[in-house]
Chains A and B, each alone.
Chain A
Amino acid sequence: MKLFGHKLTASAAFGLAVVGLFIVISLFTPWIAPYSESANVGGTWDEPSMKMIFGADQIGRDMLTRMMYGSRMTIGVALAITTLSFIIGILTGLVSAVMGGYVDVFFTRLVDVMLSIPSLIFALIILGVFGSSIPTLIMTIAVLDSTRVFRLSRALGMNLTVMEYVEAARLRGEGLWWVITREILPNAWAPLVSEFGLRFCFNFLFIAGLSFLGLGIQPPYADLGGMVRENAAAINFGMMAPIYPATAIALLTVSVNLVVDWMLSIDARPSGAQAEL
């Protein structure tokens, strides 16, 4: 089977199908969910039945509905974070590459220091001081993640700034903004797209992890990581309640990774430890 002119492997097809399913579910949740987001329809941790396909959560709400709303929330937040971090990272990276000089040195040193602190720790510090509302969450993680996007786009920009057509554009008198958007960005697209997929996965897991620790998206918003946290006690009774949202998280990240892996293999990126980072 071919997609966009490239051969599709079995794993990539599976990945695309799952990602598509998640996208459809997240977009149309309010219309296709069996119950409303916080309706109590059963007892605590009811077994799966005809009425509730995955059983009930810790206060009797339908697990499937909660999972649908949770994916919607978590995917939405992760998408917002990745988009924001890419905007910041690409802008600073390309400006750094094109302008060079003090701007470049300043940003590079700042990013180096920021990368010397593990992202989870840094995020915990900022969230601890500012509290964890959704806008704070999105902005903090976006700024943290933009450091890696900065590195990538700066490297790409450095390669492209020395090309003749960029020099020609500068000699014509084109301004900084024009050079970045019309000469450099269109040629730097491809690696950035696959990086977007990888960073989305990472941010998705990051948000789920933070919510699992109780520091991410706060109740009553449904969120997959938070659901794992709320239902965690069921494990001690041998019930599978926290496994359902955790499986949803795992399924989505595996699928996105499979798709990105397939996209990278088309692109024929050079192998080596760099490719895995």
Chain B
Amino acid sequence: MLAGALVMRAQFFSYRSHLMAKLIVNRLLLGILTLFAVSVLIFVCTQILPGDVASAVLGQGATPEALVVFRRELGLDVPAHLRYWNWLVGALHGDLGVALTNKRVIIDDLLPRLRNTLFLAGYAALIAIPLSVGLGVLSAINEGKWSDRLANVLTLIAISLPEFFIAYLLIIFFAVNVHWFPSLAMVSGSMGFSERVFQTTLPALTLTLLVAAHMLRMTRSSVLSVMSTPYIEMAFLKGAPRRRVIVRHALPNAAAPIITVIALNMAYLVVGVVVIEAVFVYPGLGQYMVDGVSKRDVPVIQACGLTFATVFVLLNTLADILVILVNPRLRHQR
């Protein structure tokens, strides 16, 4: 009897999740394919496009001997597809090469900075997501009233402001005038957790303001677009109050675009981090990449670009998979 029940359960399970699992696996494969394509694109842009990387970086004053040595160092005397393969295999094993300017192993510098950047982005996301989704839903509930119109204008202004403007405003108010927070975010590996949180509060707040405005507008937009459907009208006709209609009927259907919006903004967060790190002199991946770009350090630029692109693609893939999971129609085969 137990065996019979188990067999039935197993059959039901595979029947149930067949379609959803197939979609998820497809999306994962697409994500991996995109990662490959992105790595090819980055490689082409940094190694193939400039023509002769050696003379581009060393400039016109380079002697022929210096050019040859440089080429051998970067492995440029090997055909292009082999170079790409070596680079990719190395990257997958954690060997991202050696920086041109200071001869340090890149991965040793990159990993702690990546950790710092992810900490900052995670801190900002933790505040921003509940805040903006909640306020967005509230805004949709109060559509047309002055509170909604005020929120509309405020968020429109917020998404138009450049990141460094918001950052400097916050610095003036919180660091210079009131001395609550430090104006430079100095974070070191040996810091305790609460000290780390204290140092990164202002940059995290800046990032939050940036993405929360976007997410609030998109959440409000998604909920309002669901509101014009017939089943919502039915719920109103049944006499349900507006708040209940939105939370119980509209929100589950608006969940998919909202999740996409959140993932898009998390990806935008990864990019906004670069400017914020420059303002607050925060030792993260963005700073590392900007330094590499100003010094024209090609291996560093490649490594950082690859890391950022990977995080971006992973976030987008995660978002699409979440959207598949959230859709109850995909749980049963048609």
Contacts and interface: CB of A to CB of B under 8 A. Distances in A.
B80 to A, nearest CB: 15
Interface in A103-137: 112-114, 116-122, 124-131
Contacts of B159: 257
Given A128-B301, A258-B156, A236 B183 contact: yes
Contacts of B290: 124, 213-215
A271 B153 CA distance: 17
B260 A209 contact: no
A275 B221 contact: yes
Interface residues of B, number: 63
Interface stretch (B85-93, B186-194, B270-278): B270-278
Contacts of A17: none
Interface stretch (A38-46, A53-61, A243-251): A243-251
A33 interface: no
B214 A276 contact: yes
Contact of A273 (B37, B153, B162, B260): B260
B46 A129 contact: yes
Nearest to A113: B37
- Size range of the interface on A? 35 or more
Given A118-B271, A125-B301, A129-B296, A11 B312 contact: no
A261 interface: yes
B134 interface: no
Contacts of B41: 113-114, 117
A220 interface: no
Interface string B142-178: 0000000000010011011111110011011000100
A235 B170 CA distance: 11
A274 to B, nearest CB: 8
Given A214-B294, A235-B183, A272-B257, A118 B308 contact: yes
Nearest to B225: A272
Interface in A223-243: 225, 228, 232, 235-236, 238, 240, 242-243
A72 to B, nearest CB: 18
Given A125-B301, A273-B225, 19 more contacts: A113-B38, A116-B313, A116-B316, A117-B305, A117-B308, A118-B270, A118-B271, A121-B274, A124-B274, A129-B53, A209-B163, A212-B162, A212-B275, A213-B275, A228-B164, A232-B168, A235-B176, A249-B165, A257-B156
